[in-house]
Amino acid sequence: MSDHTLTVVKRSSKKEKPASDQLVFGKHYTDHMFIMDYEEGKGWYDPRIVPYEPVTLDPAAMIFHYGQTVFEGLKAYRSKENRILLFRPEKNLQRINTSSERLSIPRIDEEQVLEYLKQLIEIDQDWVPSTPGTSLYIRPFVIATEPNLSLAPSKTYKFMIILSPVGSYYAEGINPVTIKVEEKYTRAVRGGTGAAKTAGNYSSAYKAQEVATKEGFSQVLWLDGVEKKYIEEVGSMNVFFKINGEVVTPQLNGSILEGITRLSTIELLRSWGIPVIERQITIEELFQYHKEGALEEAFGTGTAAVISPIGELSWGEHQVVINHRQTGELAKQLYDKLTGIQTGVEADEYGWTIEV
Ligand SMILES: *Cc1c(COP(=O)(O)O)cnc(C)c1O
């Protein structure tokens, strides 16, 4: 038997599922998980779907000490006709390899892993919730497992996929959020790891978020780490502005995470004939546009919220209210179109969804 044949070991009894109106993000996990191992010289081996359970690691495993790890986040949606749809999953698997490359982690076979993912979801298909707005969150990740405190890439890894049913991000309706422009802390710098989904980027952002939360803000808007001038992202979302009828988003520069919702938003807008400009934009420039009455909308994009409208921006002494703290027309159109395609309500004219 080849090392690449998928083994499946099912749980003897299924877990109890949470009610779909009581799903808390990241709290519930399905019956099974996918796991495979890597060894230098041997490659990835022993792919298996097994009951969801803790993994045992040596205390010297390199993940604990130097954070050599990458992750992804995507969702499976249940359509009205009971189909299970994935939204551009190949992009997530390409991106985990891009992240891995930055962290000196070996690549996975994207096509093969997509097949493993589909099989895992099929086995746990009863866990894909059907209430509007709910979905099954998918978290693929890689960890360095070699027990060794040397400062060098691990020679062994585990790749895993876990699944978590999640509730509607907008259970209380879409409410534009208040954002603090972060002037003290930095998320990422050019040449660093900002473009990779790797653990350290997120734990190092907690401090800024903690302070912002205490001050009454929902999220922070990150500026570039060198000059603290150029807009990069908002929380862990990409950011868009509608200015004078055109849409502007920061251009990818090596410290911004290349979001798949960002890409889809750009592609949708262009197909609607709305100009989108990827360029550097300073916070000063943005506030100037607001003064001139040209800043029409602002919103974040990401898998979790899809589109998250920004109602107010606070930059030191300066505060601006955007679109009367109402969800903009464009944000609403994008939200409806993206979620429509994701859940199979709208025809997928772009070929973005894959059925499990
Ligand atoms: C994941 C992520 C995004 C959004 O990416 P999507 O593919 O759209 O979910 C944006 N910024 C950061 C920092 C992220 O980690």
pLDDT at 264: 98
Q: Quick one: which atom of ligand 1 is closest to the CA of 263? A: 8
Residues 6+ apart with CB under 8 A from 347: none
| Average pLDDT for 320-343 | 97
Any ligand 1 atom below 6 A from CB of 302: yes
Across the range 26-36, mean pLDDT stands at 96
| Rounded Cα distance, 96 and 71, in Å | 6
Give residue 172's pLDDT. 73
pTM of the model: 0.96
Query: Is pLDDT larger for residue 1 or for residue 126?
Result: 126
Ligand 1 close to Cβ of residue 236 (< 6 A) = yes
Query: What 3-state class would DSSP assign to 158?
Result: strand
Q: Which residues contact 251 (CB under 8 A, 6 or more apart)?
A: 278, 279, 280
Q: Give residue-wise pLDDT tens across range 63-75.
A: 999 999 999 999 9
- The pLDDT, as a whole number, for residue 20 is 83
The pairing of beta strand 246-250 with beta strand 32-39: unpaired
For residue 92, the ligand 1 atom closest to its alpha carbon is 7
Say what the pLDDT of residue 1 is: 44
Q: Which tens digit of pLDDT belongs to each residue from 235-282? A: 999 999 999 999 999 999 999 999 999 999 999 999 999 999 999 999
Give the pLDDT band of residue 3 (cuts 50, 70, 90).
low
pLDDT of residue 168: 81
> With a 6 A CB cut-off, is 72 part of the ligand 1 pocket?
no
Q: Are 64 and 199 in contact (CB under 8 A)?
A: no
Count of Cβ atoms closer than 10 Å to residue 293 Cβ: 8
Asked whether residue 298 carries a pLDDT value surpassing 50, the answer given is yes
Mean pLDDT of 162-168: 94
Q: Which atom number of ligand 1 is nearest to the Cα of residue 302?
A: 8
195 lines ligand 1 (CB under 6 A): no
237 lines ligand 1 (CB under 6 A): yes
Domains in the chain (CATH in brackets) are 7-166 (3.30.470.10), 177-342 (3.20.10.10)
Q: Which atom of ligand 1 is nearest to the CA of 262?
A: 8
Query: Ligand 1: does its nearest atom lie under 6 Å from the Cβ of 205?
Result: no
Ligand 1 and 232: CB distance under 6 A: no
Residue 335 makes CB contacts below 8 A (sequence gap 6+) with 174, 306, 307
- The pLDDT > 90 percentage for the chain reads 92
Q: How far apart are CA 24 and CA 37, in angstroms?
A: 30
- Average pLDDT value for residue range 320-325: 96
| pLDDT score for 4 | 78
Mean pLDDT of 42-56: 97
Q: What is the mean pLDDT of residues 95-108?
A: 98
Measuring CA to CA, which residue among 254, 252, 279, 275 is closest to residue 263? 252
Ligand 1 centroid, distance to 225 Cα (angstroms): 18
Q: How much of the chain, in percent, has pLDDT values that exceed 70? A: 99
Provide the pairing of β-strand 238-243 with 295-302: antiparallel
Of 261, 324, 262, the C-alpha closest to 295 is 324
Q: Please tell me the residue having the least CA distance from ligand 1 atom 10.
A: 237
Quick one: pLDDT at residue 292? Answer: 97
As a whole number, the mean pLDDT across the chain is: 96
Going by CA atoms, what residue is nearest to atom 14 of ligand 1?
236
Ligand 1 pocket residue status of 238, Cβ below 6 Å:
yes
Tens digits of per-residue pLDDT, 212-238? 999 999 999 999 999 999 999 999 999
Question: How far apart are the CA of 202 and the centre of ligand 1, in A?
Answer: 11
User: What's the mean pLDDT in 309-321?
Assistant: 96
DSSP designation for 257:
-
At 21, the pLDDT band (50, 70, 90 cuts) reads: confident
Kindly give the number of the ligand 1 atom that is closest to the alpha carbon of 91.
7
- Does residue 294 sit in helix, strand or coil? coil
